[in-house]
Amino acid sequence: MILIVDDKPENIYSLKALLTLHSFPVDTALSGEEALKKILAHNYALIILDVQMPGMDGFEVAESISGYSKSKDIPIIFLTAANTDKKYITRGYSSGGVDYITKPIDPDILLLKVKTLYRLYEQSRKLNEMHDNLVVEVEYRKKAERETSEKAAELRSILESIPQIAFTIRTDGTLEFTNHRWLEYSTSPGHFPPVHPEDIDIQEEVIKAIALQKPVELETRLKRIAGTDYRYHLLRLVPVLENDTIVKWAGTFTDIEDQKQASRRKDEFLSIASHELKTPLTSIKAYIQLLERESKDNSQYKPYVDRALTQVSKLNSLITDLLDISKIQSGKLEFNKKEFDFDAMLKSQLEMTKQNHPDYHLDHHGTTETLVYGDEIRLEQVITNFISNAIKYSPKEKKIVIETRADDQHVHFAVTDFGIGIPKDEQKNLFRKFYRAQGAAPHFQGMGLGLYICSEIIQRHDGSFGVNSEPGKGSTFHFTIPFKKQLS
Ligand code: ADP
């Protein structure tokens, strides 16, 4: 907006008409004092200022304006009498005015000057705006940079203080930072520590994982540069996120040799204990079976003999599971694979279950009508385990549904119960060694080994397995195996 300041309304009128005609927005003031008030309250792009005014003259107004930071850059066109002494005009310039025009006003010259100054003002206003924005932007970036380097320093000092070998790695896979422990295992901060010759190349694994944006968790053996013995370490690599974007990766190697050895000793103990227990238990079982045969049906000892036999069978199956585990661990779980009639095996299995659990209703659908190439006893063990779990974990609802079918390559088997079910977050762990669902563990006996052994058996038949379950509604455990001999 342009402010016209003149004490004569007729002058204001003609100037206003001229500028409005050329689409300039205009405001007016009839005295220097009124002009000053308006200048403080509004933003003007240009002021046209009559020099000769009663009270405050134009130069005085200009001088005052130049004292305010808000208005000091507003261009001014002074309107002077033709005979105005030059020294007054210079006074006009020195007090911040930028141009003048003599009366009587030539409208073309005035318009020319107005346009030039108006444009100049607009440009300098835009420049100032850009400058202000730039200052804000620079400040913002400086702050972000400061924060990033503070965070990096914080992460580094944490990684220096922990007992693990630690490092950060850029998203292009190059090492960014390594803590002091790194150099106990690697000769250079730019290279991963060498691993045991039989272990996989960790640097390659790390680069692969970064490309796929997947965290890493793997065990590898490292040795100190100065040492000779390799020790197991757990390598963990996780992304460092900023605003949901991966900016780098942080990794650690944790020495887990002691846990590994403890677990190895535990496995050895379980293996020895189960072997040693198996022989006397087999004898005890044989003697009790002998007693059972000898004791008459009406003997007062018959119920005790029966109960002893049941308990011995339980103990026997626990020890068998423990033996299986130690065989899996040592890679000695052997399979005697040949073709067998899957439906017949299942039928006899179901008959036995019905006899042992007459209160349960086993609802069997489907047949496979095919010979399966596999270890019949081991696959029967999986089926028994699924069904006995279904019975065990469904103490109230006594219906169990068993489904079998075959497609052109696979046999599918599933057992559904309507029992306690398993929470979603625990389902993925059920096939792990010694894992028992939290809700079930205190109320049902077990060691958490059955499903682990089943998973091993199915995997050794090139099959797949899984569970669908809903707490309080029941569970379906299923497996699928190819029925033909696999070439491998
Ligand atoms: P165990 O039954 O001896 O604990 P398993 O390996 O057979 O060992 O099963 C592991 C865990 O899986 C069980 O402890 C139980 O929590 C859960 N589970 C297995 N089958 C079922 C089922 N049918 N319904 C509910 N939970 C089950």
Each residue of 74-106: pLDDT tens digit?
888 988 876 666 566 656 555 445 788 888 889
- Binding site membership of 193 for ligand 1 (Cβ less than 6 Å): no
- Binding site membership of 381 for ligand 1 (Cβ less than 6 Å): no
Residues 305, 403 share a domain: no
Count of CB atoms situated within 10 Å of the CB of 329: 16
pLDDT of residue 260: 93
CATH of the domain at 414: 3.30.565.10
Residues 55, 104 share a domain: yes
Residues 122, 33 share a domain: yes
pLDDT of residue 442: 85
Residues 470, 350 share a domain: yes
Tell me the pLDDT band of 117, cut-offs 50, 70 and 90: confident
Look at residue 147 and tell me if it is in a domain.
no
- Binding site membership of 474 for ligand 1 (Cβ less than 6 Å): no
Write down the pTM of the prediction.
0.60
- Residue 418 alpha carbon to ligand 1 centre in Å: 14
**Average of pLDDT values for 341-369?**
95
Look at residue 9 and tell me if it is in a domain.
yes
Residues 236, 215 share a domain: yes
pLDDT of residue 95: 47
- Binding site membership of 422 for ligand 1 (Cβ less than 6 Å): yes
Residues 86, 41 share a domain: yes
CATH of the domain at 277: 1.10.287.130
CATH of the domain at 10: 3.40.50.2300
Pick the last residue of a domain from 224, 255, 286.
255
Overall domain count for the chain: 4
Look at residue 343 and tell me if it is in a domain.
yes
- Binding site membership of 390 for ligand 1 (Cβ less than 6 Å): yes
Residues 18, 70 share a domain: yes
| Span 444-482, pLDDT tens digits | 988 899 999 999 999 999 999 999 999 999 999 999 999
- Residue 388 alpha carbon to ligand 1 centre in Å: 10
- Binding site membership of 159 for ligand 1 (Cβ less than 6 Å): no
Residues 382, 413 share a domain: yes
- Residue 242 alpha carbon to ligand 1 centre in Å: 41
Residue nearest to atom 19 of ligand 1 (CA): 389
Residues 105, 85 share a domain: yes
Residues 270, 385 share a domain: no
Share of the chain above pLDDT 70, in %: 96
Look at residue 146 and tell me if it is in a domain.
no
CATH of the domain at 196: 3.30.450.20
Residues 452, 434 share a domain: yes
Residues 477, 348 share a domain: yes
**Average of pLDDT values for 253-280?**
91
Look at residue 468 and tell me if it is in a domain.
yes
Residue 70 has pLDDT above 80, yes or no: no
Range of the structural domain that residue 309 is part of: 264-330
Residue 116 has pLDDT above 90, yes or no: no
| Span 285-332, pLDDT tens digits | 999 999 888 887 778 888 899 899 989 988 998 899 999 988 888 888
- Binding site membership of 322 for ligand 1 (Cβ less than 6 Å): no
- Binding site membership of 417 for ligand 1 (Cβ less than 6 Å): yes
- Residue 316 alpha carbon to ligand 1 centre in Å: 19
